[in-house]
Structure 1
Amino acid sequence: MDLAQAQKLWQPEPGWLNTATYGLPPDPAWEAVQEVLADWRGGRVSFEGWDQAVGRSRAAFAGLVGVPAEDVTVGSTASQLLAPVAAALPPGATVVVPEVEFTSLLFPWLVQEDRGVRVRTVPLAGLVEAIDAGTDVVAFSLVQSADGSVAPYREIVAAARAHGAFVVVDATQACGWLPFDASLADAVVVGAYKWLMSPRGASFAYLAPALRERMRPDAANWYAGKDPQDSFYGLPLRLADDARRFDISPAWFCYVGAAPALELLAEVGLAAVHEHDVALANRFLAGLGRPPGDSAIVSVAVPDAQQKLARAGVRAAVRAGRVRASFHLYTTEADVDLALTALAG
């Protein structure tokens, strides 16, 4: 399916430029959720059918980011998936992060400070140079939530490897429009409700085997069992050997919606989505007399921008005191031009 065909599977009202806050579901995802809600309401089925969507989602996510499915764990939020990574740091470890970073990537390290873990913040533009022999972990968003800045992923990884540091990435604002190889990092966490267009409550993490060996599954539960169907009751501890040992029992309905959304993205192809999204972002920037960028998220300062956009029915966000607009595969040139006309007025 090409992108033009896929666009017919969304029903957005004109002027939605806010995928960086939450994505809109394609018809197959919306319809799957309606069906499962009806089944739940009537008590028609057992949970096993719903649970198949978790495996489908895990496999689809793994394919999108280029890693084996057995190295992917599922959860509900990015910070929850990051927590055991932070808890595995030895006392006295140093974590280097960008200074303007979304707190879901920042707070999990900060709560470890009572164990002597030190968090050092630096400008994103200087992150590569800031990685040194005293760095144990470098953690960053692949795409910054506030303004859409794209981190120099490969350069950061190279610097971290040169100094023996782990690499932890939050790809929530990237995965779904920006192709990247998750296997270059040690951990990649993604909240699926933005660019992966899934219900809020579905999240994924790639955890490299070498990192998992240092981690403890403090949220161990039946679903993390080697055979979940044989892990309902009693001793002994019998967890999965792969990344599933870090799974939490999933919010099934969220994954029922996630599976068709991720599978559709895979069918269209991230390269095509990337080209479409960035082209629309640059159309928006050009209309404001700004130079082009490399992101599907842009941040602009225009007098009274929020009020002008709201009057025209354009929905965007305000982050760090600036209007943030974001463009995804269901966004059209008409949406962009509607926003430009509003801002010109």
Structure 2
Amino acid sequence: MPDWAAIRQEYPALAGRTFLNTATFGQLSRRAVAAMHAHLERRQKTACGDFLSWFDDHDRLRSKLARLIRADAADIAFVPNAAAALGLLTSGIDWREGDEIAILENEFPNQIYAPKHIAARGVTLREEPWPGFLDAITPRTRLVSVSSVNYSTGFRVPLEPVARRCRETGALFYLDGTQSCGALDFDFTAIQPDMFSVNCYKWMLAPNGAAFMAVHPRLRERLAPLSIGWRSHEGWRNVDNLHQGAPVFKTSAEKYEGGMLPSVVLYALEASVDFLLETGLGAIEARDLALAAEVRAAAARLGGESLPFTDSAIAALRFEGADSSALARALKARDIQVSARYGLLRVSTHFYNDSSDVENFESALRAELRR
């Protein structure tokens, strides 16, 4: 059993406040901050003379990310953010009039804006609720784009039937794991989306700017890189002779990276991934879900309503006659951080939280609801 109290001490930002908002930003551990400092100090000492070794270190991280999501290291590429991954995919599809894109209703804007931009070319966007969503995936569907967990409601999408339906119809399956990876267990090899992307500044507890995607081999065979740079050629490590004619791409997902990587944040990400792997995603998921259940129970005691999605770490709450945005602001004034999304009070619990956070939240919320 992990020592949850010791884990909490690794996150200095939690001292003196109640933080229940990892769905917006995760907190940085001492070891993640130390990893960034160590890299910057190394740069000063070496004048970046060892820069090629940074890529060796990031390949090590690539392998750890693959272990975290049960993928192969060759599937993993670093990207600026999840939107860049989705943009790579949508730019590589030869869209034709009559094609369709299927997304779930109330998706995060990434999942809405990109398809709507493409829809201007005669492509139909189908935005459907979960009941009936599988029926919206037809032989005309070229792309199914969903988030594994909805950012506002906490709805955890049943991934296996979506993946199965995509295989049946030939649709590409893009999965955004930003609101689940690091909190919930995930098996890339079992689900087999064509592309899985993650912004790592939430549940992965890394700085913003750290993000990755996993690209299935079947998609890598047909999806060309969008940004071509000096690292696009498979022989890029021969820095004494970079001019090698037309690029010969690697078969791994690394071919999508193109240029330098954001090493500072990737060293922090590696430290965070180490922490997640040491703790164990199974234990983390159980902890996160148990704390979210405590939040829902607290809301019920105060007369609130919780959306009926109990298998993610996001508790979406509604209180009759109360404005969720005003409640979130009032709680922030009491040094209790939650958020408001889509008219709901969103409370998100991670493994560094404990029952005292829920108790503080309940006490402050009770006081605000009585005002």
The TM tier, using the shorter chain, reads over 0.9
Deviation readout 1:280-304 (Å, 9 max, x if unpaired):
1110110111567111011212325
Cα offset, 1:7, TM superposition: 3.5
- Tell me if 1:84 matches 2:88: yes
> 1:217 — aligned with what?
225
Matches within 5 A, 1:1-345: 2-4=2-4, 5-11=6-12, 12-13=14-15, 14-40=17-43, 44-46=47-49, 47-92=51-96, 93-183=99-189, 184=191, 185-230=193-238, 232-248=242-258, 249-289=260-300, 290=305, 293-302=310-319, 303=322, 304-345=326-367
Distance 2:236 2:27 in 1: 32
Deviation readout 1:287-345 (Å, 9 max, x if unpaired):
11156711101121232522441232101111112221111111111111111111111
Given that residues 220 and 251 in structure 2 are in contact (C-alpha distance below 8 angstroms), is that contact kept between their aligned partners in structure 1? no
Distance 1:328 1:215 in 2: 35
Deviation readout 1:214-271 (Å, 9 max, x if unpaired):
2121202223332332264452313222111111431111101111101211121111
Distance 1:257 1:135 in 2: 39
Distance 2:252 2:43 in 1: 31
Distance 1:69 1:43 in 2: 29
Amino acid aligned to 2:105: E
Cα offset, 1:132, TM superposition: 2.1
Distance 2:54 2:343 in 1: 42
Amino acid aligned to 2:188: A
Given that residues 141 and 169 in structure 1 are in contact (C-alpha distance below 8 angstroms), is that contact kept between their aligned partners in structure 2? yes
Extract unaligned runs of 5+ from structure 1.
Answer: none
Cα offset, 1:40, TM superposition: 4.3
Cα offset, 1:117, TM superposition: 3.1
Q: How many corresponding residue pairs?
A: 345
SS of the equivalent of 1:138 reads strand
Given that residues 75 and 214 in structure 2 are in contact (C-alpha distance below 8 angstroms), is that contact kept between their aligned partners in structure 1? yes
Cα offset, 1:16, TM superposition: 0.9
SS of the equivalent of 1:310 reads helix
Cα offset, 1:9, TM superposition: 2.1
SS of the equivalent of 1:136 reads strand
Amino acid aligned to 1:261: S
Distance 2:362 2:288 in 1: 16
Deviation readout 1:24-70 (Å, 9 max, x if unpaired):
12221111112223444666443234334422321111111111010
Which one has more relative contact order, counting CA pairs under 8 Å at least 6 apart? Answer: 1
154-163 or 58-67, which deviates more: 154-163
Q: TM-score under structure 1 normalisation?
A: 0.93
Distance 1:53 1:240 in 2: 19
Distance 1:226 1:309 in 2: 52
- C-alpha change, 1:233 and 1:6, in structure 2 (3 Å) is farther
SS of the equivalent of 1:306 reads helix
Extract unaligned runs of 5+ from structure 2.
Answer: none
